[in-house]
Amino acid sequence: MATAEAAAPSLSVSGLQAWYGESHILHGVDFEVRPGEVVTLLGRNGAGKTTTLKAIMGIVGKRRGSVAFAGRETIALSSDRVARLGVAICPEERAIFSSLSVRENLLLPPRVAPTGGLTLERIFDLFPNLAERLASGGGKLSGGEQQMLAIARILRTGARFLMLDEPTEGLAPVIIRQIGRTIAELKREGFTILLVEQNFRFAATVSDRYYVMEHGRIELGFANADLDPNNMEQLHVRLGV
């Protein structure tokens, strides 16, 4: 069986450029994610991390370059066709339906991948809080519960390549630890995950590799196993931590 290092990339991004209207945000982004990895994009606000996820998914105004999933070029595909390849994005704003109950939010997403999504029972194993709030409206959940619901919802689609945008932003430490445990469990089950994070301390507990973004480009890449005083110092300078 091929290891993550030997396997062909699940995602390969090359020369990716993206625009919002006339604003040129990404200026040639290059990186890859291997099967079963957790890879984190780090960087200050405005570095282009969220735009990178949106450009991969095909939900920016204009993009150029190459985005390939398992060797299949997707740069010309619409976002719904990208989703049908088993790709899902959990946005920073969560985008749950506040007027719908937790159960309705979970039952709403279509199954876009042929393997089918996680069952409700498996979702509740990962997020026991949601089982206790099934009848509650989405707008009545705490921030941590809303984040759990947002992640659970994309797991229902059957996607195996997950993009999570700032999943720990503004959350209490106990919820952050739960999300970390969930990411670790999904990795053990064979999911491939691309994170956007500013919280390096959290990212270091779940990630295999990192890419640091500045001004719409990848400026630094390293593996968790290669952390040393030199690249830690570079991180402090680039992230301001």
pLDDT single digits (tens) 157-182:
999 999 999 999 989 999 999 999 99
Residue type for 196, please? V
Confidence of residue 92 (pLDDT cuts 50, 70, 90): confident
| CB atoms near residue 58 (< 10 Å) | 19
d(CA 205, CA 218): 22
Q: Per CATH, which fold does 11-239 belong to?
A: Rossmann fold (3.40.50)
pTM over 0.75: yes
CB atoms within 10 A of CB 64: 13
At 217 the pLDDT is 96
Under 8 Å between Cβ of 224 and 208: yes
Q: Structure tokens of 101?
A: 């109950």
Q: What is the pLDDT of residue 224?
A: 84
Residues 68, 12: contact at Cβ < 8 Å? yes
Q: Which of 71-75, 107-111, 154-158, 166-170 has the lowest mean pLDDT?
A: 107-111
Given a cut of 50, whether residue 2 has pLDDT beyond it is: no
Q: What gap in Å lies between CA 5 and CA 104, rounded to an integer?
A: 40
pLDDT per residue over 49-58, tens digit each? 999 999 999 9
Q: Is 4 exposed, middle or buried (CB count within 10 Å of its CB: 0-12, 13-18, 19+)? A: middle
Confidence tier at 218 by pLDDT (50, 70, 90): very high
**What does the pLDDT read at residue 40?**
97
Helices (H), the chain: 49-57, 79-83, 102-107, 120-126, 128-132, 143-155, 173-188, 200-206, 229-239
**Structure confidence at residue 109 (pLDDT):** 77
Per-residue confidence at 200, pLDDT binned at 50, 70, 90?
confident
Percent of the chain with pLDDT over 70: 90
pLDDT at 3 over 50: no
| Confidence label for 121 from pLDDT (cuts 50, 70 and 90) | very high
User: What is the mean pLDDT of the segment spanning 113-120?
Assistant: 79
Confidence of residue 4 (pLDDT cuts 50, 70, 90): very low
Does residue 157 contact residue 107 with C-beta atoms inside 8 Å?
A: no
The pLDDT score that the predictor gives to residue 112 is 75
Give the strands of the sheet with 23-33, arranged side by side: 23-33, 11-20, 62-69, 72-73
**What percent of the chain stands above pLDDT 90?**
69
Q: Is residue 6 predicted with pLDDT exceeding 90?
A: no
Alpha carbon distance 146, 114 (integer Å): 27
Residue pair 41/197 in contact (Cβ under 8 Å)? The answer is: yes
Antiparallel, parallel or unpaired: β 72-73 and 62-69: antiparallel
